[in-house]
Amino acid sequence: MSHVMLRGLTLSIVIPTPGDSGALEETLLSVLENRPEGCEVVVALGCEYDDPWNLAEEVRFVRAPEGSGLVGCVTAGVQATTGDVVHLLAAGWKATPGWADAALARFEDATTGAVIPLGIDGATEHRVVSAGVKYKRGGRRVALTRPGMGTTAAVGSGAERRVGARRPQWPVVGPRLEAGFWRADLVRDAGAGFSAACGDRLADVDMAVELATRGVSTVVEEGSRVVAGGDPAWERGFRSGLHGERLFWRSLAGRSFLPSFLLHVIEVIRHAVVSAPLGTVPMLLGRFVGACQLVSHARRRRQLAEYLAPDLATDMEIDTTTEAATDTAADAASADSEGTTIRIDEGQEVLSGPRRRPRDAEPLRKSA
């Protein structure tokens, strides 16, 4: 992908609010006080909110489907946006002065797919408590707290990349679902967006895997800072096993199976230990059910494989061109080895046969 400067980028800010209207008002106030000019603000509600401050002229309120969690609210909000860049800032997180400008500037590079803002402690603003999330190969989500752990470079093309070397980027990192900047086409277009298959807690790292497969870059912008809010509730028992197992099988496209599976076994053992004593059996049952959902995993694998397909097509095109050039050279060599062919046109005189002595001719006599 070439580095193209994008001019006139527009920003859409989405505030997903599954259930805490008090946290929404704190977040909304910070956004309205610090937002850039010309951006739109969308609040995606999963709970009742009567807008006591009459903000409908400045803010667009949309309703998520009944019973929606964080992922459902995010999806409803993103689909209502129109900007080139979508910023998710969940209720309970707070914006700071200039937080969006530095992140938006990163998208002038067309290879940038997502930007991770730093989450800071509300009591100590210099203390970083969030720098995105990371996917570990065995199927585990790890919350990052140091800026240097969260940057990936975009995959090169043409002369920058050896033909056939296309693989998902490593390490796999991405923004948290609660706070991140995303290129709009990656989260809003048909077939794109966050999946609820892995639950609210693992949806962000599931999307990070997709970004890595697409070959776009994820960067940390230290000039973009937000006050961190709370984490989603920890899942335990059956649901934690189900979502964890789905995450692993959904993330295998383009990766070596055997090393990934061995690391996954280690992750399951770790999960069983931390779930002990009462949650181990339900967790393992959830993982068993998740592993058996083969149709869903195959569909996800095909989707990720399509993101890798352009590189395979490039390889095939190169092979075809090489084969055609080889055939042309072989034909030329064959023509040289066969020599020159002479064509006899119809108008030429026909060659006569061998001369014969007439029957009535006098026979030859011996000389004396």
- Between 202 and 347, name the one with better pLDDT: 202
How far apart are the C-alpha atoms of 294 and 249, rounded to whole Å?
9
Q: What's at 226, amino acid-wise?
A: V
Query: Domain spans of the chain?
Result: 11-317
Residue 280: count of CB within 10 angstroms of its CB = 16
Superfamily for the 11-317 domain: Spore Coat Polysaccharide Biosynthesis Protein SpsA; Chain A (3.90.550.10)
Sign of CA dihedral 29, 34, 38, 43: negative
Question: What pLDDT score does 224 carry?
Answer: 96
The pLDDT tens digits of the residues spanning 219-258 come to 999 999 999 997 777 888 999 999 999 999 999 987 889 9
Question: What pLDDT score does 7 carry?
Answer: 53
Alpha helices in the chain (DSSP H): 21-34, 70-79, 99-106, 184-188, 199-214, 237-250, 257-275, 280-291, 294-337
Instruction: Give ∠ CA 139-140-143 in degrees, rounded to 5.
Output: 150
Return the minimum-mean-pLDDT range out of 20-24, 280-284, 339-343. 339-343
How far apart are the C-alpha atoms of 151 and 349, rounded to whole Å?
85
The pLDDT tens digits of the residues spanning 275-302 come to 999 999 999 999 999 999 999 999 999 9
The model scores a pTM over 0.85: no
Which of 131, 210, 115 lies closest to 169, judged by CA?
210
